Amino acid sequence: MKKIILLLLLTFGIKIAFAECSMSAMYYFPETKEIGLNSKFIIQGYAFSQKTIKSFKNRKVYLESENGELIELNLQEFYTGQMQLTQAIFCPTSELKPNTKYFLKYSDQTENEGREMKQYNREKKVREKVYWKTTDKKELESLNSNLNVEFEKTEVIHYGCGPSANAIFNVKNKSESEIWYKTEVVDLSTNDKKVFYIKEWNGKLNVGHGMCAGAFTYKNKGKYKVRFTPMNTDGKSLKTTDWTTFESPFMNDKSPFGN
């Protein structure tokens, strides 16, 4: 059961507390609550919650301080994954104030969206509104310039609701700060490119999809290439890696169902 949960949605570190796929879910990044004054933000929707993400192209998103001050977030990037995931990347239109707690807010926010904008606090054992608290630093600590991403293997794991399929990469010499990886995957048979931000999971990058969702999907046969641009939550990035070519995870898959 534990392994099923961990592999349910590997993209961007999503953790679901049940084995069956839900109908909707929202995820908010940075995961860390303490942020710099120029932090970027990622809002990601799964399944039916993708509707909210898509609406950001035509509505406003804000950070609201405890005293009611609003700072608008500018939509900078927008990516639709290949399997029930969509994400929007935002940057504040002005510098955040130091040592201030900010809550997420949408224009024309619905009651259901308000419910989705809550996360479980394990320490307090309650659900609370999504928030971040600024430090007094304009920029976070730089990433380790020796960070290295190395291909390990491809893997397919079969479950009752469908397989997970990933190209797995080891991350070495990473810093302690939260890292986002802008991931570009190209299908070499068509030259189609898909882009998505992902996070590592237990020191590994899983490029593909879980049982229920994911940024990238693969054909049964064929070759792909991928490269990564590591960045911190301020958007300060390291040099983009070289392309790595790999075969579809399904090429050497021995399906228990005889496929």
Is 258 a residue whose pLDDT tops 70?
Answer: no
The predicted-structure confidence for 150-203, as pLDDT tens digits, reads as follows 999 999 999 877 899 999 999 999 888 899 999 999 999 999 999 999 999 999
Percentage of residues of the chain with pLDDT beyond 70:
90
The pLDDT of 203-225, averaged and rounded, is 97
If you average pLDDT over every residue of the chain, what do you get?
90
**Most distant pair of Cα atoms in the chain: their distance:** 61
Per the structure block, which two tokens stand in for 230? 């590591």
Residue 125 has pLDDT above 90, yes or no: no
Closest CA to 220 of 169, 163, 168: 163
For tokens 């931000």, name the residue. 197
Strand partners, 86: 45, 80
Q: Are 234 and 40 in contact (CB under 8 A)?
A: yes
Instruction: Check pLDDT > 80 for residue 246.
Output: yes
* Residue 162 near residue 211 (C-beta atoms within 8 A): yes
> Over the stretch 58-98, which tens digit does the pLDDT of each residue have?
999 999 999 999 999 999 999 999 999 999 999 999 999 99
Query: How far is residue 24's CA from residue 46's CA, in Å, rounded to a whole number?
Result: 5
**Bridge partners (DSSP) listed for residue 214:** 83, 209
Higher pLDDT, 146 or 124: 146
Q: Are 209 and 166 in contact (CB under 8 A)?
A: yes
Predicted confidence at residue 195, as pLDDT, reads 98
